[in-house]
Structure formats: C-alpha cells, structure tokens
Structure 1
Amino acid sequence: MSAKHNILWSTLALSVALISQNSSAAAVAASASPFPTNAPAEKTIGQLEQVFTFHDAMPTGVTVTETGRIFVNFPQWGDDVAFTVGEIRDGKVVAYPDASFNKADPKDPAKGLISVQSVVADGQGRVWLLDTAAPNFAAPKAGGAKLVAVDLATDKVVKTLVFPANVILPSTYVNDMRFDFRTGKEGTVYVTDSSVSGPGAIIVMDIASGKATRRLSGAKSTSVDPTFVPVVEGQAALVSKGPDGKPKTLGVASDGIALSPDGKTLYFSPLSSRHLFAVPTALLRDAKVSEAQLSAAVKDLGEKGASDGLEADANGAVYAGDYEHNGIRKRLADGSWQTIVHDPRVLWPDTLSVGPDGYLYFTANQLQRQAGFHDGKDLREKPYSLLRVKIDAAPAPTR
C-alpha cells in the first residue's frame, strides 16, 4: 500500500473514532439525570436551634445572663447601625440600655457608645459593653475606648472604665473580655487587642482602680501566624486588594478569649491562626514577671481549627468556633477535641456564650462575605442568625 493510501486510511480511522466518541458522549449526556437528592453527602453534626434572626445590621457579640436575658451588639463596620448594643425582647431587638446612650457624645468620647465589639454578662448582675471607639478599625478615638457596666436590675450604667493611654495604641482594636472577681478589690478583666495593623496583646485591667497593662504585646502567641491563609466555603477568605493592587489576606491578632472555671488559666487565640494558647493568669497580673518570662510560660495547646470566639464552661471544657468548617469544637479535660457542631448554615461562627439553660449560644454572621473581601460586592444573605446547641453544662463561674 502506498504512503498516500496509508494517510487516507489513517484519516478515515481517526474520523470513525471521533464519530464513535462523540456518539458515546452524546448518549451519556442524553441518559444523565439531575443529581439525586439521596446521594451520599457530608453529614451534619449537632442539633442546631435558631434562637433569633437579624434582618438589618450584622451582629458580632452575644451574651446570655444568669437569668436568661440575651444581649447582642453591632459594631460600626459599614452597615446602617441604628444602635450598637441591643437586647432581644419579645421577638425584636431594642437599644440597650436605651437609644440615647447608643449615640456618641462628640464633646466627650467617654460618654455614649461609639462602636461596641463585645458584650459579656459577668454572672454578678451586670452586663459589660466593650467599646472599641474605632469604627471600621480606624485608630481609636482618644479617651473613647472603654468598658461600661450596666446593672441588670435597673438597666442603668453603674461604671465606666476608660482604658488608660498606656494600653491603647493607634492600632489597638479591643475585641473580647473575661472577668474574674476572685482577684483584686473589685475584680480583674482580661481584654484582647485584636489589631489588624499592629501588635496583638492581652490587656489586664484592675476594675477598682482602672489601672491597666499590656501583656504579651507583639508576642508570637498574640500575633498573626504569617503562614496562615483561611479557606472558607472552598475559597481563600478575608482577601482584599492591597495598596499595590495585589491580593492581601487580612491578619487579625489575638481575638477569642476564655477563662478557666477556677480563674487560673486564660485561653486565647489570634483569629489568623489555628492554634490555642494558654497562660497562667497569676503571671499576667504580676508586674514583676517580665515579658520574656511571660512568653516562656505560654503553652501552645496545638491546633483547634481557625476561631473567632472562645468560651469555657463550669466543667473546664473550652469551646472554639471553627469558621473554616462551619462548626464548633470542644476541648475536653484530657486535651482532646471533638466537633459538636458542623453544619453548612453555620456561616462564620463569631461569639460564643454559655447560657444558664445548658445551651451554647453563638452568632453566625457571614463575616467572610463582606464587600471588602469581594471587590466591593456584598455577598452576605440576610438574615444573620443567633443559634444554640445543647451542651448540658453551666457557665464558668466568675467568683
């Protein structure tokens, strides 16, 4: 057979093969059907209950008091925030302690609320409001970053503690807090500085005097993990364009915080990390302990997943959100972890709070879908949720 005939036969064979292949593909396509609803799929964990839905501004913090009252807060992050602290009453959220106190005083930043990031019931008849005085993560307004205590019996402000200038840097963003009334004349409060542009830290404040110190400022345990890139909903998250136009992942320092039931151990974690850290509170409070000694005393308890909020219960268990996996995890006394919630509806679990009813309450606010991380397009879908799951444990005592 000539070379010309060989080429013709090869071309014919290839054509027949292609026709056969296309016919097979067409046959498969014609016989395909919609994906069956009963096909194997990822399983959920935990029996979720929806406590409340938010149809306006995005919430971050939640706290449940010893009598079951529920408070939430809405930081000034760009949403239309009618009030920065509210109480859920009779199926709606109302300004707390009232509408007028939820307005900043232009003449005195210490009076009136500017932008509250966290609310915490102290187990002693008060709810505390943590005012960053830093809308949209701007530099805190001088004299505005503060702790405000409201008496739950009268719904009146009974104490205001303005953070002293020595602990508030231009980059500071006070985030979450835990109380211990077993130390100090009126107790001690531990606050995380979750800066996005400067050093993270644990701020330790004496409630009676208002004196405060920055501890572990810029330490590895309170800092952003430089190798950390969060992945949420299958995509790199918290990514925006940097000044040079290139993608940049938002780095958030020490964020979640929890106190052991005996008050002796403080747990904390940067938001931009998957590690849980612990430090003896006695060393945090001791001015004679150097920063080097304190850093050496910090224990890295290993990976727990990437968390926003942390919480502890009366049995010594520590709970951590896992925003990369739409879940909540629990650290047992032996140091092991178990997942107690895994559900696609848990879109960015933020703050955690143990209620007196044996439930763990938490907000799910789709933080990763904000417009700043998606070229100005807001991908959040209202409503945001307040959820809870039964844990059969009481809140960690504060006294």
Structure 2
Amino acid sequence: MKSRFFASTLAISVAAASQTSFATEPTSLSASAPTDKTIGQLDQVFAFHDAMPTGVTVTDNGRIFVNYPKWGDDVSFTVGEIREGQVFPYPDAAFNREDIKDPAKALISVQSVVADGKGRVWLLDTAAPGFAAPKAGGAKLVAVDLATNKVVKTLVFPATVMLASTYVNDMRFDFRVGKEGTVYVTDSSISGPGAIIVMDIASGKAMRRLSGAKSTSPDPDFIPVVEGQPALITKGLDGKPKTLTVASDGIALSADGKTLYFCPLSSRHLYSVPTALLRNPNVSEVQLAAAVKDLGEKGASDGLEADANGAVYAGDYEHNSIRKRLADGSWQTIVHDPRVLWPDTLSIGPDGYLYFIANQLQRQAGFHAGKDLRDKPYSLLRVKIDAAPAPTH
C-alpha cells in the first residue's frame, strides 16, 4: 500500500510540474530589467577616428598631449597636441619622422607623454615599433619647452640599462632630488625581465633596479578577463595560444616624492618602494626587493596616477573602471562604465579632472586571430576628482 501511495503521489507531482512548465512560456527580456549600474559622471574630451592612442598628459595651463605607439596602425605622427578640435603633430611633423642615420635625433615610437610641472612635456620613445628589440641609441627621453615648442633636452638610455627585450613604458619626475631632478621609468617587457629604470636628468646616468623581481614581473597565474572573455590571447613561439604577459607598466609618485607606486600590467597587485632606496646604488637588489611592499589587489591596471592629497588612482581594465586608493589604504571605485573599454594612461589636469584614454586595446587583431574588433572612435575621457596632481618640485 505504501509503495502505491508514493507512486501515486510522485505521479501527481510530476504531472503538476509538467503543467506548470507548459503554462509558463519564456518571454524576451524586458528593457526595464535590472542592469549593471554605472559610477561616475564621464565627459568625452576627444574622439579619435584614426590610429589608437595610449598616452595622455594635461599641462598646468590645460594643454593636452597624446601619443600613438607604432603597433600596427597607420601612425602618421607618434606625438600630437589636441587643439582646435584636431590632433596636430608635436612639436612638429619633421621631428615625428624617424632619422634612420641617427635614431636619437627624432622620434621613432612614443609610448608615453608626461608634463613635468616645470614648463616642459617629456616624450618617452621606446624605439621599439611592434615591441621589437629597441633600436640601438634610439630609446630616449625628450623634453620639449612648452613656451617655445622646441626640444631642449634629449636623454638617450645608456646601454647598461637597455636589454634586447626592454620596452620603456611610463615615467614620473621628481625635481626635489638631483641637480636637475630624477626620472623613474618602467620597463614593461613582454619577453624579458621587467624593471624600474632610475635616471639622473643632469648627467643621464641610469640604473636598472628590481630587474626581474617578483614586483616587476607578470603574475604567472594571471589570466585577464575582459568583456566576459579571457583576454590578451596571442600565439606562442610554438604556434599555440598563450596569454600575453606584460611586466611593470603603471607608475605613480607620491606627493612627497618618498614613495614610488608601480604594477605589472599582467597582475592585479599594487606595489610600492621607498624612492631613497631605489636611487641609492649602495642598496643591493636583495635589500631593495625586501623593501618593496605588496599593497594587495587593486584590479588589473594599465595606468596609475597620484594626486596632491595622497591618493593613488588605478585603471581596472577587467571591470571598465577607475579605482582610487585613499591615503589610509582603502579603495573606492570612482568610475564604472561599459564605455571605459581598456582605460590606459591617467593624468590629472589643473581643472580637478582625471583624464584617461579608453582605447579597446584588448580588441586588437593580434589577440583575435588577425581580426580587428576595435570599434572607432577611441576616447579621451575625464571624471571630476576635485584634486590637484602630485607636485614634482
């Protein structure tokens, strides 16, 4: 009797479930269904319809400069100034044409532009189009006087800090140390050791620090996920798919100049190191590595910046976001928007806005079996932060 009862009950339950499933027909998702909420009020400062930019800097008087590395797009000039609704080659068209006979005399492929707070804009030339080995004597820092738009200084990276795999990426300046100041540069190699290059501006002498250290190296377990898919997938030497690994990339200097923040692109961690130790040649690499602090996860970043109040800003390219680390070490998300497709370089302007490039880097053809998925225009965006840039002097 019990088995008949249970069988009858089960049959009734199955029948009821069947009736319920047939009674409930699937419908199209309503446009009013809950969605991911955006954070931050974004302004589009400029739309790029040609080559893909990576870097931006905003000067004390509001001039805006951008750069285009030679990664495969048709780049007619590698540094430009945005004015009158257009981008003009800077400092002029001639200086943007490579000098085959002397790689130090003109620009080759610029990865970063930074206004130094002292009336100049600096251009960081990788001399490595397409991430090839840098051309001998071509990797350099070029200072352009903003009042005259003339080149006033060129610093070629000495061979002692340049490897065949070196890709100089971003830079920060401190004019409180050294006769003419000091510049810190990240080596974001994709095939060799990452590093922080420390250069004395007056003499041009440079040191390669934290070369191959954990803090400047890609996280071996890191696989980026962008737009819901594993990203930066390329072909290895064996022809098989692999994730592109990029070493130390983003860099920021604290307002007092005492702390350098940096991160590999292929990682979610933020690191810091005392600049006094970084500059001191008597501090061994072992001692220096021990002084580096792992400040924990911040998201995956392709750009960092610091403000005058002690905050650090970091792009989060996996989540279409910009994050802010407060002086107490806590984090806030200040931008989250589906239009922030790969936030690249960050720059704080004199107007209290944080400017950044959104360039869809992850959609390049090299990561999609030769098919370019980028959807122009690329954007220069900004968000109000009500803070001034970290001082350099």
Q: Which interval holds the TM-score relative to the shorter structure?
A: over 0.9
Match in the other structure for 1:166? 160
Amino acid at match of 1:186: E
Match in the other structure for 1:205? 199
Would you say 1:272 and 2:257 are equivalent positions? no
Question: Aligned-pair distance for 1:53?
Answer: 0.3
1:140 to 124, 134, 151: 134
The alignment covers a number of residue pairs equal to 380
Residues 343-390 of structure 1: CA deviation (Å, up to 9, x unaligned): 000000000000000000000000000000000000000000000000
Superposition pairs for residues 315-326 of structure 1, below 5 Å?
Answer: 315-326=309-320
1:304 to 298, 309, 315: 298
* SS at 2:50 equivalent: coil
Question: Aligned-pair distance for 1:322?
Answer: 0.2
Question: Aligned-pair distance for 1:35?
Answer: 1.9
Match in the other structure for 1:262? 256
Match in the other structure for 2:176? 182
1:108 to 90, 96, 102: 102
Question: Aligned-pair distance for 1:324?
Answer: 0.4
Question: Aligned-pair distance for 1:398?
Answer: 0.2
Would you say 1:54 and 2:81 are equivalent positions? no
1:114 and 1:25 map into 2 onto residues whose CA distance is 65
Give unpaired runs (5+ residues) of structure 2.
1-10
Would you say 1:80 and 2:47 are equivalent positions? no
1:382 and 1:33 map into 2 onto residues whose CA distance is 34
Question: Aligned-pair distance for 1:26?
Answer: 7.3
Residues 121-173 of structure 1: CA deviation (Å, up to 9, x unaligned): 00000000000000000000000000000000000000000000000100000
2:48 and 2:140 map into 1 onto residues whose CA distance is 26
Match in the other structure for 2:236? 242
1:27 and 1:120 map into 2 onto residues whose CA distance is 64
1:390 and 1:38 map into 2 onto residues whose CA distance is 29
1:361 and 1:338 map into 2 onto residues whose CA distance is 17
2:22 and 2:46 map into 1 onto residues whose CA distance is 49
2:110 and 2:263 map into 1 onto residues whose CA distance is 20
Amino acid at match of 1:76: K
1:57 and 1:259 map into 2 onto residues whose CA distance is 29
Amino acid at match of 2:347: S
1:384 and 1:294 map into 2 onto residues whose CA distance is 39
1:282 and 1:24 map into 2 onto residues whose CA distance is 71
1:346 to 333, 340, 345: 340
1:257 and 1:165 map into 2 onto residues whose CA distance is 22
> Percent identity at matched positions?
82
* SS at 1:148 equivalent: strand
2:52 and 2:202 map into 1 onto residues whose CA distance is 34
Amino acid at match of 2:161: V
Match in the other structure for 2:8? none
For normalisation by structure 2, the TM-score amounts to 0.94
1:372 to 361, 366, 369: 366
Question: Aligned-pair distance for 1:24?
Answer: 7.7
Match in the other structure for 2:92? 98
Match in the other structure for 1:226? 220
Would you say 1:214 and 2:208 are equivalent positions? yes
Range that drifts further, 205-214 or 37-46: 37-46
Match in the other structure for 1:3? none
2:78 and 2:123 map into 1 onto residues whose CA distance is 10
Question: Aligned-pair distance for 1:118?
Answer: 0.1
Question: Aligned-pair distance for 1:240?
Answer: 1.4
Would you say 1:124 and 2:133 are equivalent positions? no
Match in the other structure for 1:9? none
Question: Aligned-pair distance for 1:27?
Answer: 6.3
1:38 to 21, 32, 36: 32
Residues 43-88 of structure 1: CA deviation (Å, up to 9, x unaligned): 1100111100000000000000000000000000000001000000
Runs (4+) of structure 1 exceeding 3 A deviation are 23-29
1:33 and 1:237 map into 2 onto residues whose CA distance is 33
2:55 and 2:155 map into 1 onto residues whose CA distance is 20
Question: Aligned-pair distance for 1:28?
Answer: 4.6
Match in the other structure for 1:4? none
Amino acid at match of 1:242: G
Question: Aligned-pair distance for 1:97?
Answer: 0.3
2:22 and 2:77 map into 1 onto residues whose CA distance is 59
2:185 and 2:338 map into 1 onto residues whose CA distance is 31
Question: Aligned-pair distance for 1:241?
Answer: 2.3
Would you say 1:71 and 2:65 are equivalent positions? yes
2:235 and 2:258 map into 1 onto residues whose CA distance is 42
2:309 and 2:79 map into 1 onto residues whose CA distance is 30
1:228 and 1:192 map into 2 onto residues whose CA distance is 20
1:392 and 1:343 map into 2 onto residues whose CA distance is 20
Would you say 1:327 and 2:325 are equivalent positions? no
Match in the other structure for 1:192? 186
For normalisation by structure 1, the TM-score amounts to 0.93
